């Protein structure tokens, strides 16, 4: 399928205040999109809006917690009213916390499910009715390679991302004749605030700028599921065949003293 132009489209990006979201918004604006910037922190959003404007682009900001449905829907309406009908939505906002077992950090797990899964549902569902009415649009969610394997110490994070993948799988099939595209993006390790505290080796680590560039190309191509980098994707898939004792050696116990492992973005 030939890559399509994004020029003139209105794009909404959640989690735009840092990391992949910041770079995605900047690169989409450089590609000719008018970009709605959504995140919890007003200051970084205002800074990004200035960066985009200085480069000749157009952006509008809306402060919202993606785990709050009302805030998401309000942010969507604000962006639509400022920039026009939304053609592309990228549900990128996410959080990651290690899963503890003694005691289980239930509040952190609830937060990951609320932001990583329900945040995607709220963001895409806010845009979907108008896309269906126009018979055109593109729904994108940034998941993770961690969705493909439950990792010790990261079971809740992995579960939240696996749920995103399954949700998008079913949604894509359900929307196949509506004119609305669906893309799941599964990155590996990316240099973001989420991975900044990791002290262990992160195979295939790439910059947020490089990751965003790959995602923009996948969006242009209308890719259904985009996993990258491919070597780490292969490693994750193969790890499903490893015995538990070997996985326990590869991924140290997060309740033990010392550096804590963290998931791919």
Active-site positions read 157
CA gap 26, 48 in Å, rounded: 8
Residue 64 CB-density burial (10 A; 0-12 exposed, 13-18 middle, 19+ buried) = buried
Dihedral over alpha carbons 205, 185, 39, 74 (to 10 degrees): 180
What's the token pair of residue 143?
Answer: 């998941």
Q: Which tokens sit at 95?
A: 């959080």
Chain centroid to CA 86: how far?
Answer: 18
- Give the H or E element holding residue 88: strand 88-91
Distance CA 166, CA 119 (A): 15
CB 12 within 8 Å of CB 45? no
* Strand bridging mode 10-14 / 34-39: parallel
Cα→Cα distances 99→118, 146, 158, Å: 19, 14, 10
Cis amide leading into 229 (omega within 30) = yes
């Amino acid at each position: 399928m030939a890559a399509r132009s994004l020029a003139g489209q209105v794009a909404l990006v959640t989690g735009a205040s840092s990391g992949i979201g910041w770079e995605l918004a900047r690169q989409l604006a450089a590609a000719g999109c008018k970009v709605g910037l959504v995140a919890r922190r007003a200051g970084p959003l205002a800074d990004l809006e200035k960066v985009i404007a200085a480069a000749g682009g157009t952006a509008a900001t809306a402060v919202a917690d993606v785990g709050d449905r009302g805030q998401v829907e309000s942010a969507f309406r604000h962006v639509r009213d400022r920039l026009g009908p939304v053609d592309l939505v990228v549900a990128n906002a996410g959080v990651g916390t290690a899963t503890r077992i003694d005691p289980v950090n239930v509040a952190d797990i609830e937060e990951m499910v609320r932001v990583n899964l329900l945040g995607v549902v709220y963001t895409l569902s806010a845009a979907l009715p108008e896309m269906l009415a126009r018979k055109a649009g593109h729904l994108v969610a940034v998941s993770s390679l961690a969705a493909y394997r439950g990792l010790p110490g990261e079971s809740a994070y992995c579960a939240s991302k696996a749920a995103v993948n399954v949700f998008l799988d079913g949604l894509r099939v359900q929307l196949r004749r509506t004119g609305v595209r669906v893309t799941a993006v599964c990155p590996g390790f990316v240099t973001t605030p989420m991975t900044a505290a990791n002290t262990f080796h992160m195979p295939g680590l790439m910059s947020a700028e490089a990751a965003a560039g790959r995602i923009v190309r996948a969006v242009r191509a209308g890719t259904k599921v985009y996993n990258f980098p491919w070597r780490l994707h292969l490693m994750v898939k193969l790890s499903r065949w490893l015995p538990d004792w070997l996985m326990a050696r590869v991924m140290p116990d997060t309740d033990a003293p010392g550096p804590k492992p963290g998931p791919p973005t």
